[in-house]
Amino acid sequence: MELLKAENIKKVAVVGAGLMGSQIAEVLSRIGKYRVSVTDVSDEFINKGLASIQQRLDQFFVAKGKMTPEEKKEITGRIEGTTDLTKAVSDADFVIEAVTESMAIKKDVFRKLDADAPPQAILASNTSWLNITEMASVTKRPDKVAGMHFFNPVAVMKLVEVVKGANTSDNTVEVTYALARILEKEPVVCRDVSFGFLANRAYVAMTSEAVQMVWERVASPEDIDKALKLGYNLPVGPLELSDRIGAWAIRAASEEDRIKELGSEKGQLHPLIRLMVRAGYTGGPGKKGIYDFWKEVLSKW
């Protein structure tokens, strides 16, 4: 079988039309080299994802004179939305999975991708920290499975982590790396033995220490974030960011996956995060997080 080359990629399929999937599809289409397909489980999710692309292009490009309405139409015209996974990936050269951060769900998706995508197609995951080797194990092409971790917002953030599983071939890493460069990103390569890969591993460590300081009542979340922002020139503190994106719920969900596998509740989740999530303080748009939990519960407990 002839090895895939980055310059020969004609179509890229994105699985998942949510926050990250829709942004990845947008960046792929803006390059102008690819046909892009976005697939999800319902028309509602597809339509919401495509609408978010239109909104971002209007708000950040057309309204600021960085793009003409005609150019926007060309970009959106290269993106096809469908609920038919087989149709989306059957003629794809490269597939990027961007579904929920659950190993069980991702494994199910990769089984389907392996069955439906062409045998030479590379299957990549946008996971933030889940193990690539484990995902690849459910396919008959583990050499063609890699991580391709974009950062939010995808159009702005330059970093892409290319993650090499135990069986990922050098060719797969090279093609994934080259695709990231074509998308005008700055890729780095790491092995999937590092939980959280590179950026998230270091950032989660900082966030965990910040959580521990809240747990010890060293200071309020606001003051801890303020110290980190001013001390290290961060645009936003790790606790505030976690509140915004709903990271507490994501980390708790990852813990639940581990509990099911281990058969016990002896995981690695900080007790404060477990306590917050069980009390409904998950973070995310319109939801309460650690700032609220401090004011309403922990400071009085």
Residue 299 has pLDDT above 80, yes or no: yes
Q: How far apart are CA 47 and CA 65, in angstroms?
A: 26
Closest CA relative to residue 14, chosen from 121, 88, 93, 103 = 88
Catalytic residue among 29, 131, 149, 255: 149
Q: What is the pLDDT of residues 140-177, one digit of tens each?
A: 999 999 999 999 899 999 999 999 999 999 999 999 99
Domain 6-191 has CATH 3.40.50.720: yes
**Given pLDDT bands bounded at 50, 70 and 90, which one contains residue 188?**
very high
Task: Provide the residue ranges of all domains of the chain, joining segments of one domain with +.
Answer: 6-191, 199-300
Same fold, 6-191 and 199-300: no
Residue 263 has pLDDT above 70, yes or no: no
Catalytic residue among 52, 167, 200, 208: 200
Q: How far apart are CA 89 and CA 94, in angstroms?
A: 8
Catalytic residue among 29, 37, 126, 128: 128
- What is the reported pLDDT for 256? 63
Assigned token pair, 289:
């997080």
What is the average pLDDT value for the chain, to the nearest integer? 93
Task: Give, to the nearest 10 degrees, the angle between helix 247-262 and helix 238-245.
Answer: 80
Percent of the chain with pLDDT over 90: 86
By the 8 A CB rule, do 109 and 15 touch? yes
Q: Is 174 exposed, middle or buried (0-12, 13-18, 19+ CB in 10 A)?
A: middle
- What is the reported pLDDT for 252? 85
pTM of the model: 0.86
**Given pLDDT bands bounded at 50, 70 and 90, which one contains residue 269?**
confident
Mean pLDDT value of segment 70-87: 97
- What is the reported pLDDT for 41? 97
Active site residue 200: yes
By the 8 A CB rule, do 274 and 286 touch? no
**Given pLDDT bands bounded at 50, 70 and 90, which one contains residue 265?**
very low
- The amino acid at residue 106 is K
Contacts of 166 by beta carbon, 8 Å cutoff, 6+ apart:
133, 136, 142, 192
Active site residue 37: no
Q: What is the pLDDT of residues 119-139, one digit of tens each?
A: 999 999 999 989 999 999 999
**Given pLDDT bands bounded at 50, 70 and 90, which one contains residue 260?**
low
Question: Which fold would CATH assign to domain 199-300?
Answer: N-(1-d-carboxylethyl)-l-norvaline Dehydrogenase; domain 2 (1.10.1040)
Active site residue 149: yes
- What is the reported pLDDT for 258? 53
Mean pLDDT value of segment 194-200: 90
Residue 279 has pLDDT above 90, yes or no: yes
Percent of the chain with pLDDT over 70: 95
Active site residue 169: no
Catalytic residue among 161, 169, 220, 240: 161
Q: State whether the Cα torsion 63-153-207-298 is positive or negative.
A: positive
Residue 223 has pLDDT above 80, yes or no: yes
